[in-house]
Structure 1
Amino acid sequence: MNTTLEKLKERIKDKKYKLTTQRQTILQAFIDAEEKHLCAEDVYVLVKAVAPDIGLATIYRTLDLFTELDLLKRLDFGDGRNRYELNDEEFAHFHHHLICVKCGCVKEFEDDMLETLESIIAKKLNFKTIDHQLKVYGYCGDCQEKMKAEEEAEAAQKGE
């Protein structure tokens, strides 16, 4: 049995909410998804294949509830859409996001380099950090290659 799903089910039960079939389907979509930063529309597409009766409004309400229950983390990557990722111990490691400003892809990287900064903040300012997010904006490797090819083509065209 899927231990992640079981842990999340238990957290819902502990907070006195029912795990309806629709909520379980939406939760399972996050567990199964290859892409870990899903917007409501992404969830809708994944869920429609399994449960065509679940509407987009239900997905939005469920995402809000799961965020409130701390099952999901809401993320803002500056593209005008909220994205969500599981907030489970299995996924709770500190990780940071690399966001391509050209194609919008988001990649995670794990490096706890901010722990040093957190300990300095704790000592100097008597502030205990419980979470942090680092978002780095730039160009992914694919987009860099495309831009380079476009620049070379443009330069060749001007040279003619």
Structure 2
Amino acid sequence: MDNTFKEFLQEKGYKFTKQRQVVMEVFAEREGEHMTTEEVFHYAGKKMPEIGIATVYRAVSLLESIGFLTALTFEDGTTRYERRLEDEKHKHHHLVCNVCHEITEVNVDLLDDLEEEIEKTVHFHITDHNLKFYGICDKCSRKKEGEANEV
């Protein structure tokens, strides 16, 4: 894994450091999670206790700017990051629970026809899109139903 991270950074023209490696490892080990920089700092600190929050902020910012991470901002205004896989044409979509704020990834993308139509009629080349659905997850719905039945 170290060599893959090292090669990725060097391809992009950046130096490979132990701190950047640790941050990249955190995302690789927590694939599919949507983490704030503070959460990344927490996990990175377990691997490298001497790492500072400013170093993690700089590493996350760099990794997002060179395409290793994708930044996502949800309604609460918090920016979360997830690892972007090299073979992804588009980011996957997200379901956000309004009650527990759990984020679920959805890998169904039915927007190809819409993108083609936009490109054809507006002459706008689409490179990506981001779609979020808000609602109530199954766990919160069942909990709410259970509370209603108790009354």
What's the TM-score, normalizing by structure 1?
0.86
Hey, what does 2:73 align to over in structure 1?
Answer: 76
Larger deviation, residues 9-18 vs 59-68: 9-18
Instruction: Kindly state the Cα deviation for residue 7 of structure 1 after the two structures are TM-superposed.
Output: 4.2
Given that 1:66 and 1:72 are in contact with CA atoms closer than 8 Å, whether structure 2 keeps it comes out as yes
Identity of aligned residues (%): 37
Shift of 1:34: 4.8
Assess if the C-alpha contact under 8 Å between 2:5 and 2:21 holds in 1. no
One-letter code of the match for 1:122?
Answer: E
User: What is the distance in 2 between the residues matched to 1:92 and 1:45?
Assistant: 30
Change in 2 beyond 3 A, CA 1:57/1:94:
closer
Structure possessing the higher radius of gyration over alpha carbons: 1
Question: Which residue pairs with 1:125 in the alignment?
Answer: 122
**What letter is aligned with 1:89?**
E
Which ranges in structure 1 are unaligned for 5 or more consecutive residues?
A: none
Map 1:133-144 → 2, pairs under 5 A: 133-144=130-141
Residues 1:111 and 2:108 aligned together: yes
| 1:8 shift after superposition | 4.1
Q: How many residues align?
A: 151
Amino acid at match of 2:101: G
Task: Give 1:106 deviation, angstroms.
Answer: 0.6
Moved more, 30-39 or 123-132: 30-39
Equivalent positions of 1:135-154 (< 5 A) are: 135-153=132-150
